[in-house]
Amino acid sequence: MTPLELWTYSIVGLTFAIYIGIAIWARAGSTSEFYVAGGGVHPVANGMATAADWMSAASFISMAGMLAFGGYGGSVFLMGWTGGYVLLALLLAPYLRKFGKFTVPEFIGDRYYANSARVVAVICLILASVTYVIGQMTGIGVAFGRFLGISYEMGILAGMGIVAVYAILGGMKGITYTQIAQYVVLIFAYTIPAIFISLNLTGNPIPQLGLGSTYIGDDSGVSLLAKLDQVVSDLGFKEYTTQVMGSTLNMFVYTLSLMIGTAGLPHVIIRFFTVPKVADARYSAGWALVFIAILYTTAPAVGAMARLNLMDTIQIGPVGEETGNLVYDERPDWFKRWETTGLLKFEDKNGDGRIQYYDDKNAEFAAKAESFGWKGNEMVTVNNDIMVLANPEIAQLPNWVIALVVAGGLAAALSTAAGLLLAISSAISHDLLKGVFMPQITEKNELMAGRLSMIGAIILAGYLGMNPPGFAAGTVAIAFGLAASSIFPALMLGIFAKRMNKQGAIAGMVAGITVTLLYVFQHKGILFIPGTDFLLPDMGMGANWFFGITPEAFGAIGAVANFLVAALVAALTAPPPEHIQHLVEDVRIPRGAGAATGH
């Protein structure tokens, strides 16, 4: 066993032991403990658990890479995935906490006085959560496979096993306390390498300030961002700080979709049912965002600095001179290690034994490159995800830091997977079973049903992780698109529009999902089956035909469709019954919020 493997096994093993210890201590004895941790979680503790619940393998592993290669364009993820908490805190969380039930579909079913509305909400929830959980499972498999020397499938089995222990035993209660531990692990794992790298490149240990400081790698005295802009544009890439994603309109709509999608994700919303009071729900959302912001404001520094390090590793001298490019045989060890995973790939196109990494799609620069004897970009694959995982190796940090990053990535994936699995299993045992099919079920049997559906959900997630369907890459689009276009508008209208009735809400949800899915399917195939995409260029429907908006960004358009259809249908049909209007008035006022119940 190499020293790195020894470190990795020790640190990952230690964190897993902690999670199991918590699971045994925090067993659930009632449905209230299983669904909402008994409703007694301190707002700061819930904020921390929410942060871990929310920050997934995508936030931890992929986001810095998306920033590194997307530059300013990557800002949509930063603003979109944090700005949603403002909507959640101001428009949803306090009122849903006041309503005081266990699940999100339960609110929709009661508010719209129809089991059909509840079932539509359950379907949206399960679709969004299952697609989302696949990403966590593949993240777990990759982390195990790369660093612990075991196979991808074994890695997923290990991940399933650990989640099973605390999610089945403890339900929301076990998940809450493990998520707190997982937050601590992941935030240290993320910030420690960032501090070292910021110190290396700028002399400032605080990454948020380092990104705005002077670069100390040479004596030019320019800022780090100016240096990065220079280095990438010298090789034909777009300037880092001004590179947009698609167009300004696309960035606007994409950010909006991520924000309302974030506010509408059920596994995040149910975390706010666990605090004792309405006032706690308001503060708790603020604390959640504080804990999230620590990672999200560090990520831009990690992305920019990793990009600069990567460019400097390959382009070691002036652009165009033969000695300016790294000799392939002299590449560093981390380069070799990542090549074996296929996430990093080199192809010596001009046969000079040196690495040329530049933008060969930039016609102007490609012409110049040809005069140097370059025959195309030779770094044919540089996967986004390696930026965080390889970052400590690129910066030559000690082995324990690398091991900590692995434990952090696993913590991020496990905590989010557990939250999603709880949302799925409570929708099945509480909304479908108790709510619709077996209203007479006893609490003891419902708790058993909750545990059984948890087992089923874990097996399904594991299976999908090992056999990821073709649409795994479109996961983000579909989960956020569904939440944004169905759940968020239904919840918001339920609170802010007293006149909204069941016809309006159901028609709105159906319209929102349909519009979003049609656009996504048009680009990516019906149900993501390859070859069934159906863009109609003759009718003016080329790629991104709707004002240049990408399918990932389309949830906001679906939400607009939802709001419009709901308002129109509600105006043409009878207002909701008197007692529903009273219910709406009641959720608007904090007084009288008891602990969440299932009745």
Partner 1 sequence: MTPDKRADYWRANLRYLTVLLIVWFIVSYGFGILLVEPLNAIHLGGYPLGFWFAQQGSIYVFVALIFVYAALMNRLDKEFDVGEE
Residues that bind partner 1 (CB under 8 A): 67, 72, 75, 78-79, 82-83, 85-86, 89-91, 94, 208-209, 211-214, 223-226, 241-242, 248, 251-252, 255-256, 277-279, 282-283, 285-286, 289-290, 293, 296-297, 300, 585, 588-593
Residue with tokens 């612990």: 148
Task: Write down the least CB distance from residue 433 to partner 1, Å.
Answer: 32
Task: Write down the least CB distance from residue 360 to partner 1, Å.
Answer: 27
**How far is 240 from 251, CA to CA, in rounded Å?**
16
Q: Is the CB of 39 or the CB of 155 nearer to partner 1?
A: 39
Q: Is the CB of 302 or the CB of 418 nearer to partner 1?
A: 302
Q: Is the CB of 142 or the CB of 211 nearer to partner 1?
A: 211
Q: Is the CB of 242 or the CB of 396 nearer to partner 1?
A: 242
Task: Write down the least CB distance from residue 567 to partner 1, Å.
Answer: 18
Cα 29 off chain centre by: 31
Q: Is the CB of 280 or the CB of 393 nearer to partner 1?
A: 280
Tokens linked to 307: 């990009």
Phi/psi for 382 (5° steps) reads: -135, 95
- DSSP conformation letters of 285-332: HHHHHHHHHHHHHHHHHHHHHHHHHHHHHHB-S-TTSGGGB-BGGG--
Task: Write down the least CB distance from residue 306 to partner 1, Å.
Answer: 15
Task: Write down the least CB distance from residue 300 to partner 1, Å.
Answer: 4
Q: Is the CB of 300 or the CB of 465 nearer to partner 1?
A: 300
Three-state secondary structure readout of 468-485: CCHHHHHHHHHHHHHHHH
Q: Is the CB of 71 or the CB of 435 nearer to partner 1?
A: 71
Alpha-carbon distance values, 31 to 150, 413, 450, 547 (Å): 37, 26, 8, 48
| 214 three-state secondary structure | strand
Q: Cβ distance 313 to 332 under 8 Å?
A: yes
Task: Write down the least CB distance from residue 94 to partner 1, Å.
Answer: 8
Which residues on neighbouring strands pair with residue 344, listed in sequence order?
382
Q: Is the CB of 43 or the CB of 105 nearer to partner 1?
A: 43
Task: Write down the least CB distance from residue 284 to partner 1, Å.
Answer: 9
Instruction: Give helix 386-394 / helix 63-70 axis angle, nearest 10°.
Output: 80
Nearest partner of 299 among 552, 77, 132, 139, judged by Cα: 77
Task: Write down the least CB distance from residue 80 to partner 1, Å.
Answer: 9
Q: Cβ distance 63 to 387 under 8 Å?
A: no
